[in-house]
Structure 1
Amino acid sequence: MTAVAELYLSDVRGRMRGVKVLGDGALAQLGATDWHTPLASGGNSAAVLVQHLAGNMHSRWAGLRGGYSAGTEGESAVRNRDAEFEEGELNGATLLRRWEEGWQVFLDALDHLTPGDLTRPLTIRGEVHTVLEAVQRQVAHYSGHVYQLILLVKTLRGPAWQTLSIPRGGSAAYNSALLSETAEPGAT
């Protein structure tokens, strides 16, 4: 079981760093005036998504940055979740700093978890989860919001959008390059 837990932690650490890279790529394409632009009335802007993700990451994971500690509550008493969804006037540089700080908290916590921690209890708003359940909950949550962010920025950028993955029409070239990298030396 320990081997599976180690494999899981290694995978989730890498995958969540990959999700962050996608978000970084989207945010890098925002213009100064785009941060506070939702796609529809009542929708979330990039600023709101960043505020919410950062707030959630600090609340859920700050207590685990140095490793698991029994009795850790995954909802900070000082968090004001509703304020995260209010459109403010923060500039892009401030929002990027919050984005980086939030991800640092989450990734630090992941890096300090051990295989044995995954079955330990962690409460979130008084509801008991295993650490594994709490991590999986956040993997889905954070990935969902990052993909919202990508859609938002892609829509705002229109034809100026720079893809974050394999470009349309580029799958064959990508696969060919990937296969040539993994081919054994001397194989024909």
Structure 2
Amino acid sequence: MNVGREYLKTVTQRFNEAKITAEKAIEQLSESELFWIPNEESNSVAIIMKHMSGNMVSRWTDFFTTDGEKPYRNRDDEFVGDIKTKEQLMKMWEFGWDTFLTTLKDIDEEHLLKKITIRNEPHSVIEAIERQMYHYSYHVGQIIYIAKYLKSSDWKTLTIPRKK
């Protein structure tokens, strides 16, 4: 068994599962619920999605040849609520995930120990993937938590229901 190939297959599956799980939560929300913020220090589901997309595009565009923090990225702007419709939001979300998953698909096992940079710091490709696994899972959890809170008793579970 090729460990590198198995690793890439597994992480790709996990990232796809995270995307699908987030989208199942997002589907349960109305357009206004996507933009709901619990307080001024928190983010809406829409802001989290915008930030994730911005991160994916920055990190995974020209992955092997440029720093993962692109000069054109304005991270602070990702936390500004300027997206107005679910359609705009979903287009941005898909663009980010497509950028990321296309690049991930192009990584071969011989790339895994190659050094790339993120914010001028060297990372192996494995480190970069794992960094994003942590980051995206963190935000998917936030999306699910907010959606579950908003839907309350109307929430449709995404995993095994309680007492089953």
- TM bracket, shorter-chain basis: over 0.9
Cα shift at 1:168: 1.1
Cα shift at 1:75: 1.3
Question: Deviations for 1:93-123, whole angstroms, at most 9, x for unmatched residues?
Answer: 1101111111111111110000011101110
Secondary structure class of the residue paired with 2:33: coil
1:126 aligns to 2:120 (yes or no): yes
Amino acid corresponding to residue 25 of structure 2 in structure 1: A
1:1-188 equivalences in 2 (<5 Å): 3-64=2-63, 69=64, 71-170=65-164
Taking structure 1 as the reference length, the TM-score comes to: 0.84
Cα shift at 1:72: 2.5
User: Are 1:6 and 1:115, in contact at CA under 8 Å, matched by a contact in 2?
Assistant: yes
Amino acid corresponding to residue 13 of structure 1 in structure 2: T
Instruction: Report the RMSD for the aligned CA atoms in angstroms.
Output: 1.2
Taking structure 2 as the reference length, the TM-score comes to: 0.96
Secondary structure class of the residue paired with 1:122: strand
User: Are 1:60 and 1:76, in contact at CA under 8 Å, matched by a contact in 2?
Assistant: yes
Q: Aligned partners of 2:41 and 2:35: how far apart in 1? A: 12
Larger deviation: 89-98 or 111-120? 89-98
Secondary structure class of the residue paired with 2:117: strand
Secondary structure class of the residue paired with 1:104: helix
Amino acid corresponding to residue 60 of structure 2 in structure 1: W
Amino acid corresponding to residue 40 of structure 1 in structure 2: N
User: Computing the radius of gyration over CA atoms, which structure comes out larger, 1 or 2?
Assistant: 1
Q: Aligned partners of 2:106 and 2:24: how far apart in 1? A: 26
In the alignment, structure 2 segments of 5+ residues that lack a partner are none
Cα shift at 1:32: 1.5
Q: Identity rate of aligned residues, in percent?
A: 38
In the alignment, structure 1 segments of 5+ residues that lack a partner are 171-188
